[in-house]
C-alpha cells in the first residue's frame, strides 16, 4: 500500500479567523485530523463528515497522548494511505514540537508538508494592543520558552544576555514559572520597574490582560488568578497598551450570544456579532421547508395574471415563490403589471435582487402598517396574493378583505423545529456560559422554549433580545420576558439592540 501524506499545520493563536487559507484547505482535505487542546472548535467544523478526529491535547496537568504516541499516530495513519492533518496551536515550529514530528516522518519515509501558522508570540500581544517592536522603543524581540524547569542546573536560557538585550522578551506558557522568570531577569541586571504584560486566552473572547512590573507582576497574577494559557511580555512596549488597546474595546467583547435563526440564514447575524467582538453560538431552532400543501402556491402562480398585488412578508416567501415560478418554466416577466409590496427593507432588497420593482414598503415593518399603507393603494374587488409562512397570523388577510379586496392567502413555506443539539443547548445554559439569546421570529421563540422543555429557569441571568413586537408578544404569551426589542425590525436593528443592551 502506498503511504499517505501528512500536513503539519499551524492553527494560529485562537481566533479561528487567523487560520491561513492553506491551513483551511489542509483541514478540509484531511482523512485524519490530529488536533491539540488550544485549537478552536470552530476549525473542527471544516473537516469532511467522514474524517477521523483524534484529540491529542496537552496541558500543564497532563497529556491525552504523549509526544511519542502522537508521532506514532501520524506515522501509523499515514502508512494506512491516509491524508493526515496535524493541527497545532500557533505555529508548528515555534515551541510546537513540529520539528520532532517532522523528523519522525522523515525516518519513517512519510512525505509531509509544513503549513506555518500565526504564532501567539506576535498575535496575542497585538490583540492586547502591544506591538512587539516600535521604532521609538525597541527594534527587536526574543521569543523564549517559559516552560523550562526552574531548578534546572544547565539552563538553555542565557538570562544575562536577555537582561542586557534591550529586546522585547516574550515568554510562552510560562505562568508556572513567572516568579522565577522575573527573578532571573532582575538578578541579571534588568530594571525591576520594567513593564510586564500578561495576556491570558489571547485573541479569544475570554482574553484577559494584566499589566504590572517585574517587581510586582507575580503578586498581581496570584491575586487575579492568572494561569496558562498565557503570554508573558516584558519590555517598554507594554506601556503602549494604554493607547493602543482595541480588541477588548469592541462593543460586544466577551459576550456569548445564542443565534436561533435557521442554519442557512444565521451567518448574517453571526458575522455581525463576531465583527463587534462577541461569540455567536448557533443553535438553529427552526428549519424552513416546503409548505404542507405546495399545490396551493403552484395554482396561484398558474393564475398569476388575476392578481393586482402580491404581498411578501419575508425573504423566505420571496425565495420559495421565485423558486416555484422558475420550476414552472416561467420567469419574472409573468409579473409584469402586478404591484408588489414588501414588509421591510430586507424583503425589498431580495425582490430587487431578482429584478423586481417594489411599489410599497411600510415605514414600520409589521402587518398592521402594511394594511395601513395599502388602504389608500388598493381598490375594492382587486385580487391580492399573500405568499408567506404557513403559520402566519390571520390579521393581514382579514384586514385586506375588510377593505374589499379578494385575498388569496397562500403558504409559500413552513417552519419546522430545527435539527439542533438540544442537550448541548441546555448544557451551555446550565453552565452559565451564555450572556444573551436572540429571537428573530415567533417560531424561534416557540421552538427555543420547546427545546428547553419549557424550563425558563435555564435563562436566569441571560438577556433576551427580540427583532420586533410580534416576536416579543409571542415570548410573553409563553411566559418569557424580553429584555430588549429592536427599534427597527431587521437584523441590523437587532444588532443595534444588542450593542445597546448586552452590557447594560
Annotated active-site residue in 36, 91, 409, 435: 36
H helix intervals, 239-386: 241-244, 266-275, 295-302, 315-327, 345-352, 367-374
- 234: nearest Cα among 274, 279, 277, 185: 185
Q: Could you give the 3-state DSSP secondary structure of residue 420? A: coil
Query: Which residue is associated with the grid cell 506558557?
Result: 173
3-state helix, strand, coil in the chain (%, to 5): 40, 20, 40
Does 61 participate in catalysis according to the annotation? Answer: no
Q: Could you give the 3-state DSSP secondary structure of residue 504? A: coil
- Residue pair 6/112 in contact (Cβ under 8 Å)? The answer is yes
Annotated active-site residue in 58, 82, 88, 463: 58
Give the CA-trace dihedral at 192, 234, 173, 207, to 10 degrees: 110
Beta bridge partners of 62: 59
- 309: nearest Cα among 397, 193, 422, 215: 397
Cα–Cα distance between 399 and 15 in angstroms, integer? 51
Annotated active-site residue in 15, 173, 414, 463: 173
Does 173 participate in catalysis according to the annotation? Answer: yes
Residue 90 per-residue DSSP state: B
Does 449 participate in catalysis according to the annotation? Answer: no
CA 455 to chain centroid, in Å, comes to 26
Catalytic residues: 36, 58, 173
Amino acid at each position: 500500500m502506498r503511504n499517505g501524506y501528512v500536513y503539519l499545520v499551524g492553527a494560529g493563536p485562537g481566533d479561528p479567523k487567523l487560520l491561513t487559507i492553506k491551513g483551511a484547505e489542509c483541514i478540509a482535505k484531511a482523512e485524519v485530523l490530529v488536533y491539540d487542546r488550544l485549537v478552536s472548535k470552530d476549525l473542527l467544523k471544516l473537516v469532511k463528515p467522514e474524517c477521523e478526529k483524534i484529540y491529542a491535547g496537552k496541558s500543564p496537568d497532563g497529556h491525552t497522548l504523549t509526544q511519542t504516541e502522537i508521532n506514532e499516530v501520524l506515522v501509523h495513519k499515514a502508512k494506512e494511505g491516509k491524508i493526515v492533518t496535524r493541527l497545532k496551536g500557533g505555529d508548528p515550529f515555534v515551541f510546537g514540537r513540529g520539528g520532532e514530528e517532522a523528523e519522525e516522518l522523515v525516518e519513517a519515509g512519510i512525505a509531509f508538508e509544513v503549513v506555518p501558522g500565526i504564532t501567539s508570540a506576535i498575535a496575542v500581544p497585538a490583540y492586547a494592543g502591544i506591538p512587539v517592536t516600535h521604532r521609538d522603543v525597541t527594534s527587536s524581540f526574543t521569543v523564549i520558552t517559559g516552560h523550562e524547569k526552574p531548578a534546572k542546573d544547565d539552563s538553555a536560557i542565557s538570562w544575562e544576555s536577555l537582561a542586557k538585550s534591550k529586546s522585547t522578551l516574550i515568554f510562552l506558557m510560562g505562568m508556572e514559572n513567572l516568579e522565577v522568570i522575573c527573578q532571573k531577569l532582575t538578578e541579571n541586571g534588568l530594571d525591576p520597574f520594567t513593564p510586564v504584560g500578561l495576556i491570558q486566552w489571547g485573541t479569544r473572547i475570554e482574553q484577559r490582560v494584566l499589566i504590572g512590573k517585574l517587581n510586582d507582576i507575580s503578586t498581581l497574577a496570584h491575586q487575579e488568578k492568572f494561569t496558562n494559557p498565557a503570554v508573558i511580555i516584558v519590555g517598554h512596549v507594554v506601556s503602549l497598551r494604554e493607547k493602543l488597546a482595541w480588541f477588548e474595546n469592541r462593543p460586544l467583547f466577551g459576550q456569548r450570544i445564542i443565534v436561533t435563526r435557521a442554519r442557512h440564514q444565521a451567518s448574517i447575524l453571526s458575522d455581525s456579532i463576531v465583527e463587534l467582538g462577541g461569540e455567536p453560538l448557533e443553535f438553529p431552532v427552526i428549519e424552513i421547508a416546503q409548505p404542507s400543501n405546495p399545490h396551493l402556491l403552484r395554482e396561484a402562480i398558474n393564475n398569476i395574471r388575476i392578481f393586482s398585488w402580491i404581498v411578501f412578508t419575508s425573504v423566505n416567501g420571496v425565495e420559495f415563490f421565485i423558486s416555484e415560478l422558475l420550476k414552472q418554466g416561467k420567469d419574472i416577466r409573468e409579473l409584469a403589471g402586478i404591484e408588489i409590496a414588501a414588509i421591510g427593507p430586507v424583503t425589498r432588497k431580495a425582490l430587487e435582487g431578482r429584478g423586481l420593482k417594489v411599489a410599497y414598503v411600510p415605514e414600520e415593518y409589521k402587518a398592521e402598517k402594511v394594511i395601513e399603507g395599502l388602504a389608500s393603494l388598493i381598490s375594492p374587488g382587486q385580487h391580492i396574493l399573500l405568499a408567506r409562512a404557513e403559520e402566519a397570523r390571520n390579521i393581514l388577510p382579514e384586514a385586506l378583505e375588510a377593505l374589499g379586496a379578494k385575498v388569496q392567502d397562500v403558504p409559500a413555506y413552513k417552519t419546522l423545529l430545527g435539527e439542533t443539539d438540544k442537550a448541548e443547548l441546555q448544557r451551555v445554559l446550565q453552565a452559565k456560559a451564555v450572556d444573551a439569546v436572540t429571537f428573530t421570529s415567533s417560531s424561534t421563540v416557540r421552538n427555543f422554549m420547546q427545546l428547553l422543555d419549557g424550563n425558563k429557569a435555564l435563562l436566569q441571568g441571560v438577556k433576551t433580545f427580540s427583532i420586533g413586537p410580534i416576536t416579543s408578544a409571542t415570548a410573553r404569551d409563553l411566559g418569557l420576558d424580553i429584555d430588549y426589542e429592536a427599534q427597527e425590525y431587521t437584523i441590523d436593528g437587532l444588532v443595534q439592540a444588542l450593542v445597546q443592551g448586552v452590557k447594560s
